[in-house]
Structure 1
Amino acid sequence: MTTAGSAAGSAKAGGSITQSELDAFLAAHSTALKGKDRAAFLAAVDPKNADLLKQQGQLYDNLQKIPFASAAYRFGSMDGGESTFAQGAQATVAVNFDHQITGVDTAPVEEQYRWTVVRGATGLQVTAVDAPTNRRGYPAPWDSIANLTVLTRKHVVIMADDTSSSFAKSRADALESDAQYDFAHWTGGTGTAPGFAVFLTSNRDTYEGIYDQGRDESVGVTVPMPAVSDPSSAGGTYPSSRIAIDTTHYKNLDPADADIIFKHEMTHAMIDPFENLSGRSEQDHLWVVEGFAEWESQRMYSPTELLYDGDTLHAYATKHGAPKALPTDAQVYSSDSDASSLGYFYSHMAMRYMAGKWSPEKVDQFVLYVYKNATSATCVDDAMKNVLSTTTDQFTQGYASWYRSSL
């Protein structure tokens, strides 16, 4: 039997590690994963490194639970590889884990690792696995969690650690219903994500570290995943996303509160494939991104049913007054939680105004236009003109007037 650890054993005993050796090494590692051969998968690891063997064994076990349409390891780039002694060749290698989750990803996406690879007596061996220089979806839940819980439904793949395993099992059907809710309301046409990968935890450190998203002010986050066909991630759209949610606040609350955060993040993930991420927009448009997700997740509620920070909608609106302008990106994603909450609120209300004055279908068209033209310096202005037949100033004035008279 040829294992990942011995695939390169017949290569030259000395000298630098070559890409062709690494290609063969990674191909054998991929074959071991696909063939459900745990021993062969772990044969790639330095047998003297007990901690790494344990971690990679945990990774293998977790990966076997994920419904992958495809999954393979691929050479990315290499530093080093030069050596002056026969069995001491070493290289730092960027390794791509190309994978597509069935029912979630529209195309294969990549996660990247940094492996330290050495030439031993029997071939190449991995002695360390670390974060890549430019993190690409690392660490995923399968890298970080022992005994990962994985549940599947038609539109949702749910992952959870031990802190939220029971919560995941009790809410799996609700998550599927929330996914169906979002899909049922979308009128913007084809091209959405087909489903969602959702990770649940109430461990705050784990939540903030997963996918390296670092959103310390959030309780839910949607992280775009780079496509295999776009390894530079310098432009284009991302074919899929990963959702992470801190369940701390939802275990003892009304299930409807959890549904709101689920629907909110799924809304982001549903339409993320449309967003042009090739550069930064020069026009503030996060109020569109977050306002749409807020509105979509709560559109079934009348204004009198909405609560913000424990206040009724009317009390909250009265407390903060009518907006003088649409929220800026800095306000929406402010590190000040009060400023950010108000930014989200004003964004939500702007979408409610838009849906009432024009239509929910126009909201979808407006959001789709902004997403597809997100790098334009006039993406919002152009959407106002081309979708709503108005101007941003006119919209803002009408929104403020509606806010004062209606809320």
Structure 2
Amino acid sequence: MAGRGRGSWVLGICVALLVGCGGPPSPDAAPGDVRRLLDRRADAVLDRDAETYRATGGGAAADRAFDNLREVPLQSLRYRLTAFRREGARATATADLRYRIKGYDSEPLTTERALTLEERDGRWYVAAERPAKKATQQLWDQGPVTSVRGAHSLVLGIGRGERQKATLRGYARLADRAVPLVRDAWREKWPERVVVMVPKSLDGMAGLLGAPASGYRGIAAVTTGETGGSGAAPADRVIVNPEAYGVLGEFGKQVVLTHETTHVATRAHTSPATPLWLSEGFADWVGYRGTGRTASQAAPELRRAAQRERLPAELPDDDAFGFSGDAGKLAQAYEGAWLACRMIADQWGEEVLTDFYEAVGAHEKRPGALEDALQDVLDITPEEFTAQWRTYLRAELG
């Protein structure tokens, strides 16, 4: 699934990256050697220079931080000091950290870091570095990162050793299968590669998303990124919940990664006007496309509702995709969304479904976008579409 926050790694769910500080001096008040210190620290990471990195400060903690980062294939990394407050020989600072994954990010991802600095013999050193108060963690904040490259994928996971590499190769294999499946279904240009991040636990996933773990229990994966407008997705990530993902069979794991890869591919054509039933339903449609799964097999919650003559009266609204803890209702929302997109593909054609998706996403705001696209692309009113969808549900699930 894609995260809730429209217009940021949205993730869909996205990173909230700004922190406030009561009346700090202007960043211009920071000495120039603090900026140069942060430049040396960034260059040391890019140059894989552990000695220089440790010389910027932090002692044993710096050694661990550098080791955590050493397998992350970075193309660029830079700090931009945004606040500095000195108290004697100590100082606190915040900085925007902008970085790009080599071969995957078209634009830098930005996160905010909190720094504790100390001055010794007229020179500044980093005593500690961590995510800023309201910023999300980066994967390397959680431990040593292992990197595995696939043909179309980069998988980054926490933990070292051959066993972990073998596990991450499994993710890369499924992601490499997903990319051609998505390419076959989505004709618009996209990078045709995906970054998959595998934290150690549900709590690790929540740390990367900056949200309570309880909201993602049972969710196998989410996609984070910026929506719409740029013609390219600058820094998408598929973030896996290893606990929920791990209990799936091979088929389920493939559907999940194909679904999330679809969000990566369609990001530039997804806007605040795109309802979640369309973005999630389309991703599921691509995920199940060509698998031979019937509606009854892939939509068990709605099948049970049909048997009780309790099919929903309306398409699921955005709130229906929230993590309320009611797994049955959430499943019904996804199933109903998938079947709406499947209906369009069946009755109007697959190309028309993608035309419809693009037409809705071309709008910047919600009012009127869906109604206009239904009329212009499908030649149908919202009321007629809903009625046709309910008829389709009964025919497929009854």
Instruction: Note closer, same or farther for the CA distance 1:122–1:387 as it changes in structure 2 (3 Å cut).
Output: farther
Please say if 1:153 is aligned against 2:158: no
Q: Does 1:241 align with 2:260?
A: no
Q: Which residue of structure 2 aligns with residue 224 of structure 1?
A: 225
Cα separation, 1, equivalents of 2:175 and 2:154: 10
**Matches of 1:145 and 1:406 in 2, distance apart?**
47
**Change beyond 3 A, Cα 1:374–1:319:** farther
TM-score by length of 2: 0.81
Give the whole-Å Cα distance in 2 for the aligned partners of 1:27 and 1:114: 16
Answering whether residue 107 of structure 2 is matched by residue 107 of structure 1, we say: yes
Measure the CA separation in 1 of the matches of 2:267 and 2:354: 13
| Aligned-partner SS, 1:240 | coil
List runs of 5+ in structure 2 lacking aligned partners: 1-27
Please state whether the residue corresponding to 1:151 is helix, strand or coil. Answer: strand
The one-letter code sitting in structure 2 at the alignment partner of 1:92 is: A
RMSD, aligned CA: 3.0
Change in 2 beyond 3 A, CA 1:242/1:124: same
Match of 2:30 in 1: 18
Describe the shift of the 1:351–1:19 C-alpha distance in structure 2 as closer, same or farther (beyond 3 A): farther
Q: Name the SS for the 2:356 alignment partner.
A: helix
Tell me if structure 1 keeps the 8 A contact 2:155–2:171: no
Q: Partners in 1 of 2:306 and 2:92 — Cα distance?
A: 59
Alignment of 1:210-289 (within 5 A): 210-214=208-212, 215-217=215-217, 218-224=219-225, 239-251=234-246, 253-276=248-271, 285-289=275-279
Distance change >3 Å, CA 62–CA 46, structure 1 → 2: closer
Match of 2:56 in 1: 44
Q: Is the 8 A contact 1:76 1:96 kept in 2?
A: yes
Deviation at 1:79, TM superposition (A): 4.1
**SS in structure 2 of the partner of residue 154 of structure 1:** coil
- Segments of structure 1 that go 5 or more residues without pairing to the other structure are 1-15, 48-52
The structure showing larger relative contact order (alpha-carbon pairs under 8 Å, at least 6 residues apart) is 2
Q: How does 1:289-328 map to 2 (within 5 A)?
A: 289-304=279-294, 307-308=297-298, 311=300, 314-315=303-304, 317-319=306-308, 321-328=310-317
Do the aligned partners of residues 101 and 219 (structure 1) sit closer, same or farther apart at CA in structure 2, a change above 3 Å counting?
Answer: same
C-alpha separation between the residues in 2 aligned to 1:221 and 1:320?
A: 32
Corresponding residue number in structure 2 for 1:80: 85
Quote the residue 1:8 is aligned against.
none
Query: Aligned pairs, how many?
Result: 363
- Map residues 156-195 of structure 1 onto 2, 5 A cutoff: 156-162=153-159, 165-187=165-187, 189-190=188-189, 192-195=190-193
Residue equivalent to 2:91 = 90
- Using the aligned pairs only, state the percent identity: 19
Cα distance, 1:207 vs structure 2: 2.1
SS of the counterpart of 1:406?
helix
Cα 1:125–1:17, aligned 2, differ >3 Å: closer, same or farther?
A: farther
Would the alpha carbon gap of residues 374 and 154 (structure 1) be closer, same or farther in structure 2, given more than 3 Å must change? farther
SS in 2 for 1:105: coil
Cα separation, partners in 2 of 1:171 and 1:239, compared to 1, 3 Å = closer
